[in-house]
Structure 1
Amino acid sequence: MKILMISPCPMHPSNQGNRARVRSLCHAIQLAGHEVDFLNVIMEAGDTDKDRLFVGDSHYHSVEFNFNEAPLSIVRRFVKKFTDRQFMFYVNNGLDDYCSIKTVNFVKDLDQVRGYDVLWVEYIFFSRILEHFGCEKLKVLDTHDRFTDRYKLYIQNHMPYRWFSVSGEDEKKALLRADVIIAIQEEEGRIFEHLIEGQRRVSVIGHHVTLSKLPLSNPKAMLFLASGNDLNIMTIQHFIKEIFPMVRREVSDAELIIAGSVCNHLQVEAAGIRMIGIVETLETAYAMADIVINPISKGTGLKIKNVEALAFHRALVTSSNGAEGLDCAGNTHFIVADEPEECAKAIVGLMKDEAQLARIADSGYSYAQGFNEAAAREIDAVLSLEKIMR
């Protein structure tokens, strides 16, 4: 089966959650025996050579990103330049503001040459592409996240919002353009099913991770690996101020390693904290610490960095929000702690009890294996619909 995957983000370097997800889905579909072409609608810089190598030279395509040329879209973007700077006033995007007719035509021309069976679109703001193809193709929309009035989450926390946000009606319109809607976790799947009133199939496909059972070698070190978005910055600043001092009082040689582009937004000179910035590979970062933290208190979707931590055989300490979409199972696979004292106690407990740390890491790794198997089964189920449609 020939599949075209259309994405606004590259797959490499896989140092952000959305890139890691697109890469993992592409790889999982390849492993299922399908032929995958990758089209990067270039909204951000990436490693083109690695993307091309990953899918094969003849299967890699790219086109420059262009905003929608419609007059209303142009006016809306002009207004948003001013309103988005305010915490208390915000204008939603139009659903198709990020999708130019040039992008649509590029896909149509590519299909004329390649003849795809499946169009797999990443993010609802590219769903416009699906409207230009008929029932002869299976149309799949991987949502990544919910975008209905998404800006409100940020305004409530007095933070600027710099990403995509639409009305509920527009999100529904996007979903109905597809034959199959992919949600990243169960709760969002239920929300989408309710929104479209059962008119389309909604499948839940979590993050298909690359498993790498790293040995445990540094129980006194914890890792926070994140991109530089506002929620991640807020999360680690809170941890440094409220939680890390409590950990150091109990374990004087405890170390916090911060990795990823979040480091570009921090100024930290406290003892026991080391910032290493963007790493060449995820394995490089995860090998530095036996414990991974993600005490995020806000946000939607599946926290991909949590699944990655389990797949690298690390003991994970996260929050209830961070655990959304995962099976908490009585703190068997990872530890959930919401209050600062509770979080510090969990980390200290792991540092002082290496046997418990190993049990959590082993259980989490097994859970990641099962997570992969479930994702692979659901991908097979989705793509089998193409045969039914024909």
Structure 2
Amino acid sequence: MLFFFPENPFSKKGGNIIRAYSNLRIFKKLNIDVDLVGCEGFYKDSGEGFGLDYNYIKNFHLVGRKPTKNLLSLIYWKYKIIKLFSKENKSNFFLTANFKDCFNKILAENSYDYIVISYEFWTDLIRNVNLKGATKIVDTHDWITLNEYYKNPKLDIGKKFNEEIQNLNFYDKVVTISRDEFQVFSNFLGDKVVNIPQGFPSHYEGNPKTFSEKKFDLIFVGSNNPFNVQAVKWFFEMVYPLLPKNLNLCFIGKICEYFKEEPNVHLIPFAENLDDYYYDSKIAICPMLEGTGIKIKVVEALSYGLPVVGTVKAVDGFNSKIQNGCMISNDASEFAENIVKLLSTESLYQSIVQEGITFFDNHFTEKEVENDWKNILN
């Protein structure tokens, strides 16, 4: 398999990256040899070491949007000339002629049974290329048109969505992480669309701490993407003032760059392992207002047996919007009230916990997701 994911799937710094890493784990279990291809710009911009795990990949290729500057190189001058006479790809800044040339060279020198592309806006990487009979699969991750609309309400939605559907239609299989997006895409593309949600190992039986022993009342895990920034800003402006002042909050991830630590607000910019933090927390929060796809932070919290208090967006992509371990409201007062009720009412707390565990076991175990992938990799 050639597996293209622009960022480093071993960096564990965001939900989309956890998704890619989880897929690599599953391909390993299915005895598939994987060549990983990444985007040089993403790896360098992260400022992190590559930290590749060759237990899950056979070969690694890093592709750049432009060649190394060398005035004696024909490749360099070819890129410069093409750049003068071609328009920049407005949907994907990185998708230059050089990027495609380098990617095509990988395809030319190898033969693959499967080619998995992450995100439909990279489709031109394999369009009009000899794929030698490989099965083409796209892991959509998100509904890109809606994501772009959130960022730019003046977006020409019809034009963008038509582009997205045309790209998806190029593939043999279209994988969605969200049940909602499965419904949208399958209306246009039929049976080639398959829903494979995010899977996690179950951690809820290993919790060594009782409710009263836990240090944190609330936990939020998130990267610094704009949707997380908006969510945390709304939480601190609208919900936090309504909560009891003695609650202890834990925030983990690059989202910590956007606010200051206070006596009861603990910031953890990076955690190699989240077990101790989840086991030491009573409730996970997900105050997302925008964004698409499943909120992986919610599924992860459910895998630890935590109830989730969130907005309506917290249950995006779920098969059921009720009895799923989440208490949801877009109203700040009700959001705060849900937190207080869970922390103060043991019977309600245990009821929501059990709903979440049952929902997780029915939809999000690694075994379920492994079987889903097995069904399309045959």
Q: TM-score, normalised by structure 2?
A: 0.82
| The one of 140, 149, 153 aligned to 2:150 | 153
In the superposition, relative to structure 1, how do residues 211 and 109 fare at CA in structure 2: closer, same or farther (>3 Å)? Answer: farther
Are 1:207 and 2:198 an aligned pair? yes
How far is the alpha carbon of 1:4 from its aligned partner?
1.2
Residues 67-102 of structure 1, C-alpha deviations (whole Å, 9 max, x = no match): 99865997557xxxxxxxxxxxxxxx34x5432343
**Quick check: 2:39–2:62 contact (8 Å CA) kept in 1?**
yes
In the alignment, which residue of structure 2 is the partner of 1:303?
295
How far is the alpha carbon of 1:177 from its aligned partner?
2.0
In the alignment, which residue of structure 1 is the partner of 2:72?
none
Q: Which moved more, 1:328-337 or 1:305-314?
A: 328-337
**Quick check: 2:218–2:284 contact (8 Å CA) kept in 1?**
yes
In the alignment, which residue of structure 2 is the partner of 1:335?
327
How far is the alpha carbon of 1:22 from its aligned partner?
0.3
In the alignment, which residue of structure 1 is the partner of 2:7?
9
How far is the alpha carbon of 1:212 from its aligned partner?
2.4
Are 1:242 and 2:238 an aligned pair? yes
Using the alignment, how far apart are the partners of 1:295 and 1:36 within structure 2? 36
In the alignment, which residue of structure 2 is the partner of 1:379?
373
Which consecutive segments of 4 or more residues in structure 1 shift more than 4 A?
46-49, 65-77
In the superposition, relative to structure 1, how do residues 178 and 226 fare at CA in structure 2: closer, same or farther (>3 Å)? Answer: same
Using the alignment, how far apart are the partners of 1:126 and 1:289 within structure 2? 39
Using the alignment, how far apart are the partners of 2:21 and 2:247 within structure 1? 34
Q: Which moved more, 1:61-70 or 1:145-154?
A: 61-70
Using the alignment, how far apart are the partners of 1:202 and 1:351 within structure 2? 41
Q: Which moved more, 1:306-315 or 1:332-341?
A: 332-341
| The one of 323, 329, 335 aligned to 2:315 | 323
Are 1:285 and 2:274 an aligned pair? no
Q: Which moved more, 1:350-359 or 1:314-323?
A: 350-359
In the superposition, relative to structure 1, how do residues 273 and 149 fare at CA in structure 2: closer, same or farther (>3 Å)? Answer: closer
In the alignment, which residue of structure 2 is the partner of 1:40?
38
In the alignment, which residue of structure 2 is the partner of 1:90?
none
Using the alignment, how far apart are the partners of 2:277 and 2:40 within structure 1? 27
How far is the alpha carbon of 1:39 from its aligned partner?
1.6
**Quick check: 2:36–2:59 contact (8 Å CA) kept in 1?**
yes
Structure 2: gaps spanning 5 or more residues:
68-78
5 Å-filtered alignment, 1:1-390, equals 3-45=1-43, 50-56=51-57, 58-66=58-66, 76=88, 93-94=90-91, 97-131=93-127, 132-134=129-131, 136-148=133-145, 150-156=147-153, 167-196=160-189, 198=190, 201-213=192-204, 214-215=206-207, 216=209, 217-218=213-214, 221-248=217-244, 252-267=245-260, 269=262, 272-328=264-320, 330-370=322-362, 371-372=364-365, 373-384=367-378
Q: Percent identity?
A: 20
How far is the alpha carbon of 1:126 from its aligned partner?
1.6
How far is the alpha carbon of 1:323 from its aligned partner?
0.4
How far is the alpha carbon of 1:150 from its aligned partner?
3.7
In the superposition, relative to structure 1, how do residues 133 and 322 fare at CA in structure 2: closer, same or farther (>3 Å)? Answer: farther
Structure 1: gaps spanning 5 or more residues:
78-92, 385-390
SS in 2 for 1:139: strand
Alignment size in residue pairs = 353
SS in 2 for 1:53: coil
In the superposition, relative to structure 1, how do residues 291 and 118 fare at CA in structure 2: closer, same or farther (>3 Å)? Answer: same
In the superposition, relative to structure 1, how do residues 105 and 114 fare at CA in structure 2: closer, same or farther (>3 Å)? Answer: same
How far is the alpha carbon of 1:61 from its aligned partner?
2.9
SS in 2 for 1:228: coil
In the superposition, relative to structure 1, how do residues 74 and 347 fare at CA in structure 2: closer, same or farther (>3 Å)? Answer: farther
In the superposition, relative to structure 1, how do residues 26 and 188 fare at CA in structure 2: closer, same or farther (>3 Å)? Answer: same
**Quick check: 2:216–2:280 contact (8 Å CA) kept in 1?**
no
Give the counterpart letter for 2:29 in structure 1. L
In the superposition, relative to structure 1, how do residues 15 and 212 fare at CA in structure 2: closer, same or farther (>3 Å)? Answer: farther
